[in-house]
Structures are given as structure tokens and as C-alpha cells.
């Protein structure tokens, strides 16, 4: 019974993570190693900016990556 309960909890946590949200602007606060996808004009057409949060004293990592349409939904960043 514990295995079934654990499997249900695990699937409930992982299902929302399958679809990535693409933000219109970069978030001001981003936890270390947290990833945000941003629709940015600095990236070529068909790619989005992948921003990875960093610990204090280090700069965020920013890379342009291709993101499939099935994986992303467009959302508005809230401050």
C-alpha cells in the first residue's frame, strides 16, 4: 500500500513539470539552480532564453535553446 501511495504522490508532483512555461520577461527573483524560460528577442527565431538561477556572488547562466511547442505554454511573468 505504501508503494502505491508513493507512486501516486510522485506522479502528481512530476506531471505539472512536463510542460514548461515560457515567460515574457525575466523574473527578478530566481532561486539557485531554478530554471526559467523567457521569450527574448536576443535569441533567434524558434529559440527561447533558458535562465538558470545562481548562488550569491555568481551571475545567472543564460543560454538560447530550442523548445518544442508541445512542451511550452506562453505566460506572463508576475513580479
Q: In this structure, is residue 2 part of a structural domain?
A: no
Tell me the C-alpha to C-alpha distance, in Å, between residue 4 and each of 12, 20, 28, 78: 12, 27, 39, 37
Q: How many structural domains does the chain have? A: 1
Q: In this structure, is residue 41 part of a structural domain?
A: yes
Range of the domain at 34: 19-74
> pTM score, two decimals?
0.62
Q: In this structure, is residue 23 part of a structural domain?
A: yes
Q: In this structure, is residue 8 part of a structural domain?
A: no
Residue with cell 508576475: 78
In the predicted model, residues of the chain with pLDDT beneath 70 are 4-20, 68-79
Please give the pLDDT value at position 78: 52
Q: In this structure, is residue 52 part of a structural domain?
A: yes
3-state class of 49 per DSSP? strand
Amino acid at each position: 500500500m505504501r508503494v502505491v501511495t508513493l507512486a501516486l504522490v510522485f506522479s502528481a508532483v512530476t506531471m505539472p513539470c512536463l510542460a514548461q512555461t515560457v515567460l515574457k520577461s525575466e523574473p527578478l527573483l530566481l532561486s539557485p539552480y531554478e530554471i526559467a524560460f523567457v521569450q527574448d528577442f536576443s535569441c533567434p527565431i524558434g529559440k527561447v532564453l533558458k535562465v538558470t538561477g545562481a548562488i550569491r556572488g555568481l551571475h545567472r547562466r543564460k543560454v538560447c535553446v530550442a523548445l518544442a511547442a508541445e512542451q511550452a505554454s506562453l505566460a506572463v511573468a508576475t513580479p
